[in-house]
Structure 1
């Protein structure tokens, strides 16, 4: 029988091998942390939307694992969208640190807004999953450049707790599990999370620091006035009662698909829901004229 972690690693490696390599840049934000972001152009020969899609991944993974290996990037570029994926601090190619004071979704939202500003485009469509969904919500409450918003892998916990549902997996339990010297003593759920983080090369001390700093405060969901889609897997314990979240965001739509927290993002239904929502007719802000450059020709630092 194939080891589940080995199978997961092989699936990620196969997805990355099939994906188009991105152009990667880094941006040094206000506290000196280097934030990496990855860019893909829309496929040639299709009608192109001048507004890029910005993707924010969930806890322990990164842009390439969450979005490229699982086909979301390819689905968006095939639909005529340029894509930017941001590696949250402590994840992927962004700077690592074991200090919990350097983490939290509100801090990550500031990083995300800095990347959006560096793109030098008048508008973006924003997609976030799990931890990235909290980051996206916090960003959308303040960032006027957000034209449309998609959040997945979260539910009533956002309204009732202010973030990812820690009633399912307490943050201190997760942090201790990530740093445990003898992971074989862990429960199957946390052992699986730690094992997957290890096989994809994630930095465990950085993940533990984020686990101790998860957002628990109020999010002003009523301030989000852009078209919003909430996506949740029907077997996702971290996104229970997603209608509670959708009802708290003015005019938000809800889409429930088959899958749990880990499998939903690899689902064709997940990708098609995002593409359909982001390509529907709607108002597009006037773009700055006088330049023939792509919206993503800005190279960052």
Structure 2
């Protein structure tokens, strides 16, 4: 398998047309991948090698472009981006594909969506991987209003806020709809109550880069959950941890452990 983007298909849910790919071994255990804010299924999962890694390990690899991102519809109404609605898209994709239950892996915003999926559609989730999000899932990930402002600025050179510049540059690089992303960032950061995440008992792996200043502690989140473990991704920040070989090796080991169990 190479690192080129595979063909995408479309399905409809909640009045939106959503894009996804379904690759790897059709008979393999399904893994549903949910990308982060301002990213896409290809940017988050294909180009960093996840599709190749999981496909070669024998998994059926499914990923969607979240609403507001990639080739999916991009509403400009902030009300469209509550993580419960985005988790509903993910559950609807599994239904569309006739998949009862899948391993679910999300990165950053995708990890938040994955948590809502596990809480609100628990029977669809066999295991969880949270990448790039630790206790920030429950306690918040800082003030992101400057990111919305950066996305709406006329051009990158007008943005002075460091994190705002980082995400605006990323959005420009991925040719994103900046107005959809600005709407998304205002409502997709709903925190998960500690009592709710404590009820999620599926096997869970939480992986955060040691230089990540957004995610919060992976170990602190793992301590809240009955069947979770945390790993560090050495010397990686929020943007660079996603494709790291330590992360990939840990996920493959994690899945092998579930299968052996």
Q: Normalising to structure 1: TM-score of the pair?
A: 0.80
Equivalent position of 2:129 in the other structure: 150
Q: Normalising to structure 2: TM-score of the pair?
A: 0.92
Q: Is the 8 A contact 1:71 1:271 kept in 2?
A: no
Q: Matches of 1:41 and 1:218 in 2, distance apart?
A: 32
Query: Runs (4+) of structure 1 moved beyond 6 Å?
Result: none
Query: Structure 2 vs 1, CA of residues 266 and 281 (structure 1 numbering), >3 Å: closer, same or farther?
Result: closer
Mark the structure with the bigger radius of gyration. Answer: 1
Equivalent position of 1:299 in the other structure: none
Equivalent position of 1:34 in the other structure: 17
The unaligned stretches of length 5 or more in structure 1 are: 1-16, 43-47, 285-301
Equivalent position of 2:214 in the other structure: 238
Q: Matches of 1:214 and 1:53 in 2, distance apart?
A: 23
Moved more, 250-259 or 240-249: 240-249
Quote how far apart the aligned CAs of 1:21 are. Answer: 4.1
For residues 137-163 of structure 1, the C-alpha deviation after alignment (integer angstroms, 9 at most, x for no partner) is 1101132021111011112222223xx
Quote how far apart the aligned CAs of 1:49 are. Answer: 6.2
**What is the 5 A alignment of 1:166-177?**
167=142, 170-177=143-150
For residues 236-284 of structure 1, the C-alpha deviation after alignment (integer angstroms, 9 at most, x for no partner) is 0112222111111212011111200000012111111112212224379
**What is the 5 A alignment of 1:1-301?**
18-30=2-14, 32-42=15-25, 50-143=28-121, 144-161=123-140, 165=141, 167=142, 170-186=143-159, 187-219=161-193, 220-258=196-234, 259-282=236-259
Q: How many residues are paired up?
A: 256
The unaligned stretches of length 5 or more in structure 2 are: none
SS of match in other structure, 1:84: strand
